Amino acid sequence: MRRLAPLLFLLASACTVETMDQPELSVSAPVGPPPSSVRAARMFIEVVETVEPVAERECRQRTRGMNCDFNIVVDDRPGQPPNAFQTEDRFGRPVLAFNIALINEVHNADELAFVMGHEAAHHIQDHLAKTRLNATLGAVVLSGTAAILGATPQEIEAARDAGSVAGARSFSKDFELEADKLGTIIAARAGYDPLRGALYFNRLPDPGNRFLGSHPPNASRLQVVKDTVAGM
């Protein structure tokens, strides 16, 4: 069951919400400005209803024994920057969360469908579990090395924390590119244009190619989308 109450509230409060309006890929259709809050809410619901069954079908076809019953929710906490993320609830059900700021920021349904496909891909490719494992291994290796070298308990604890961060980020760029590729496929199979959707990257700060950065350069991500579409 999806928790879409904040969006339904927006639709029911149109007269109030309307006063609160908030990469190198060529496309034929104009991108345009972001939609109003009410239209964004309607668009979000429409994209959920279209993308979710496609993502669940891809999940069942590509995995064994994985929970493919996505729960798509809206994070309505105020004052947050635009964000979407994938997690799991305490029963192991995959959760795709989108906050109001992101829903209001996207310029069209293609962008939203691409982001939704990307987050679903993270679950299908088991990136959350892999990240946890890498974090654990990093913590064990670095804290163990510190202990062997005669570090104090405080230094060992600091080494464990640093190792956990380093381990978690060791493959995070690869995971993002993998999710971009499968997210492109999901968006396309749901009937959206992933090339147009990936133009959302143009409005994100470019993280560059930093050592242990959490995300790859925007140009690399755009190229993955372009290559994936060409391969389809």
Domain spans of the chain? 5-126, 128-231
Tokens 């293609």 correspond to 110
Is residue 220 within 8 A of residue 204, CB to CB? The reply is no
Task: Provide the pLDDT for residue 214.
Answer: 55
pLDDT at 49: 96
pLDDT band at 151 (very low <50, low <70, confident <90, very high): low
CATH topology of domain 5-126: Zincin-like (3.30.2010)
Quick one: which of 113, 74, 107 has its CA closest to 204?
107
The reported pTM is: 0.72
Higher pLDDT, 28 or 145: 145
Using only C-alpha atoms, the chain has a radius of gyration, in whole angstroms, of: 19
pLDDT at 71: 96
70 pLDDT more than 80: yes
Sign, CA dihedral 38-42-44-45, equals positive
Spatial contact of 78 and 15, defined as CB atoms under 8 Å apart: no
Tell me, what's the pLDDT at 29? 42
160 close to 141: Cβ distance less than 8 angstroms: no
Average pLDDT in the chain: 78
For the cut 50, the answer to whether the pLDDT of residue 211 exceeds it is no
Percent of the chain with pLDDT over 70: 69
What token pair was written down for 193?
């244009």
pLDDT at residue 229 tops 60:
yes
Query: Is 111 a residue whose pLDDT tops 60?
Result: yes
**Which tens digits make up the pLDDT trace of 16-50?**
222 222 233 333 344 555 667 788 889 999 999 99
Structure tokens at 232: 């389809």
Per-residue confidence (pLDDT) for residue 217, from 0 to 100: 87
pLDDT band at residue 173 using 50, 70 and 90 as cut-offs? confident
Q: Give the pLDDT band (50/70/90) at residue 3.
A: very low
Residue count of the chain, please give it. 232
In angstroms, the first-to-last Cα distance of the chain is: 32
SS3 letters for the chain?
CCECHHHHHHHHCHHHHHHHCCCCCCCCCCCCCCCCHHHHHHHHHHHHHHHHHHHHHHHHHHCCCCCCCCEEEEECCCCCCCCEEEEECCCCCEEEEEEHHHHHHCCCHHHHHHHHHHHHHHHHCCHHHHHHHHHHHHHHHHHHHHHHCCCCHHHHHHHHHHHHHHHHHCCHHHHHHHHHHHHHHHHHHCCCCHHHHHHHHHHCCCCCCCCCCCCCCHHHHHHHHHHHHHHC
Instruction: Please state, as a whole number, how many other Cβ atoms lie within 10 Å of the Cβ of residue 29.
Output: 9
